[in-house]
Amino acid sequence: MEDERIVELYWERNENAIRETEMKYGKYCYVVAYNILRSREDSDECVNDTWNGAWNAMPPEKPTKLQGFLARITRNIAISRYRYDSAQKRGAEVESAIDEYWECIPNREASIEDEFVMKQAINGFIASLDTKARVIFMRRYWYSMSVKAIADSMRLSESHVSVILHRTRNKFKDYLTKEGIFV
């Protein structure tokens, strides 16, 4: 079923929307959650919470890219779950990716207007990257993949991926400063 029709089902409050969403994007959302949580049970629960989150968000939201919309919901739920679960015990890989990313972000207490400016800046930065750097950056900081998993999937050495990530983070900081978003 096309995404536009699935969104219409949500707007009509038709429960088939959840079934159709799960059939089309269930595995995708599971991978997003699993890369953060590293637990099958927690990832399944997170995906189920995603369907509830989508149901509650539409209406008023009317996403034009349903896959990205669902990924954002899944990712936010998974990160919240991860933070809750790791309040006493720290998980090195995801925590490391989150810490690396937040090093580059100037103000975590930003207003909605600041968040919009930041979103535009991040999108501009990502668009400015070459394909390899963009894929590595997104896999690490959006999908929370480990450096090893990225290296294996792209047939690169871990040190090569680490260098690209380090250089890309430095470029990101410079880009944000140039855009007037102070780090």
- Each residue's pLDDT tens digit, 159-168: 999 999 999 9
Q: What is the mean pLDDT of residues 117-140?
A: 88
Domains and CATH numbers, the chain: 3-85 (1.10.1740.10), 92-178 (1.10.10.10)
- What CA–CA distance (Å, rounded) separates 29 from 180? 34
User: Which tops the pLDDT comparison, 156 or 85?
Assistant: 156
**Farthest CA pair distance, the chain:** 50
The answer, yes or no, to whether residue 124 has pLDDT greater than 50, is yes
Dihedral angle at the C-alpha atoms of 105, 107, 113, 119, nearest 10 degrees?
Answer: 10
The answer, yes or no, to whether residue 141 has pLDDT greater than 50, is yes
Question: Confidence band (pLDDT; 50, 70, 90) for 106?
Answer: low
Note the pLDDT of residue 90: 47
Token pair belonging to 39:
């637990």
- What CA–CA distance (Å, rounded) separates 157 from 153? 10
pLDDT one-digit tens code per residue, 37-75? 889 999 999 999 999 999 999 999 899 999 999 999 999
Note the pLDDT of residue 174: 86
Q: Are the CB atoms for 125 and 101 separated by under 8 Å?
A: no
- What CA–CA distance (Å, rounded) separates 138 from 76? 15
Note the pLDDT of residue 144: 81
Closest CA to 168 of 124, 136, 123, 120: 136
Q: What is the mean pLDDT of residues 112-120?
A: 65
Note the pLDDT of residue 122: 83
Note the pLDDT of residue 111: 46
Note the pLDDT of residue 104: 62
Note the pLDDT of residue 22: 96
Note the pLDDT of residue 2: 94
Note the pLDDT of residue 79: 87
Note the pLDDT of residue 89: 54
